[in-house]
Amino acid sequence: MKQYRIDELRPMDYEKIKAYLDERFGSSHIEGVYWVPLDADLLDEVQAAHADCQPFYFAVALEATVISFEFLIRTRNRVRCDCIHYANEAQRDSIIRFADSIFETLKILA
Distance CA 98, CA 66 (A): 16
14, part of any domain: yes
- Position 30 scores a pLDDT of 86
Asked if residue 110 has pLDDT above 70, the reply is: no
61, part of any domain: yes
- Name the residue among 27, 106, 92 with its Cα closest to residue 58: 92
Domain span at residue 42?
Answer: 3-105
Count of domains for the chain = 1
DSSP character for 39?
P
Distance CA 6, CA 75 (A): 24
Q: What digits encode the pLDDT tens for the residues 48-101?
A: 999 999 999 999 999 999 999 999 999 988 889 999 999 999 999 999 999 999
Q: Which residues of 33-65 are buried (b: 16+ CB within 10 A; e: fewer)?
A: bbbbebeeebbeeebeebeebbebbbbbbbeee
Which runs of E-coded beta strand occur in 1-110?
A: 3-7, 33-37, 56-62, 66-70, 72-75, 85-86
Tell me the helices (H) and strands (E) count for the chain, helix number first. 3, 6
55 prior amide bond cis, ω within 30: yes
110, part of any domain: no
- Position 72 scores a pLDDT of 97
Q: What digits encode the pLDDT tens for the residues 14-52?
A: 999 999 999 999 877 888 999 999 999 999 999 999 999
- Position 41 scores a pLDDT of 96
Question: Model's pTM, two decimal places?
Answer: 0.92
- Position 27 scores a pLDDT of 74
32, part of any domain: yes
